[in-house]
Amino acid sequence: MRPDDANIVGNVHGGTILKMIEEAGCIIGTRHCNTQNGDRCVAALARVERTDFLHPMFIGEVAHVSAEITYTSKHSVEVQVNVLSENIVTGAKKLTNKATLWYVPFSLQNVAKIIEVPPIEYSSPEQEEAGKKRYEAQKLERLETKERNGEIIMSVSLPDRQTKEPYTVAFSQSSLIHLVGPSDCTLHGFVHGGVTMKLMDEVAGIVAARHCKTNIVTASVDAINFHRKIKKGCVITISGRMTFTSNKSMEIEVLVDADPLVEAEKGKYRAATAFFTYISLDKDNKPLPVPPLKLDGEEEQKRFEEGKARYLQNKAKRLADKERQQ
């Protein structure tokens, strides 16, 4: 990890790690889907399940990223990725991330054509059945998320912070505009999922830093859903707004909207959505209390309550997982 991979205090950006995770998933997914005869294809990212940042990674450490295919349906591949950080001076290693990603293979000859996925061999019928349940659950959640967000494009303007009250949603909300170039894209000419996730994390980090004015790090990312592909030449707007704060964490909603420049008649569309959770740290990387979010209006109150429900649900799941491991 180099200085340009990290923030000003040496913590590697969550977006940098997410990008590495996606690259590993794309490589193994594309390799697997090209083991059969027929059209050559590229695996495109459709969804990333909740990803927890278990330990921070720092400048000078080496990242080890390993990926394994754990389930295949007719048209999708589930990939599980582990990330380890290694201190090359002491040799100490830590598990920093575990992630599950879903890919869909698209033909290189016809970008609208989805290729059938070669099946994998499971160690037991129970393993296959568990994978099928995960597949059905993510498929349902992805459809529900797309329906909930719809095609309404949220325009987040940069507020005049001198006129906005600190700790409000309007004060910290932020957006980033990016022109999609060739280096951002796959062989199809569509944006790498990892590039999009890195930009999403960057915007979420700006929102979090503006809210608490301290060093911040990514703690977790709820499922990232990729609703539509983003083509080379599009202008993408990544918008972030604070939705919920607990005593020690902040939840930021991030939306990605794409605007085709060449095919402007097609209009803007919603491309990806996610919720990022950040924590505030002091100079010794110890958690700091997060300033409470000041709400204005029913819509912000509604988003806050929804964020609180996700926070309590994830907290209960962590406690249950901890009890099982004991």
- State the catalytic residues: 7, 201
Return the residue matching tokens 């001076």: 89
- For residue 68, report the phi and psi dihedrals to the nearest 5 degrees: -145, 135
Instruction: Tell me the Cα Rg of the chain.
Output: 20
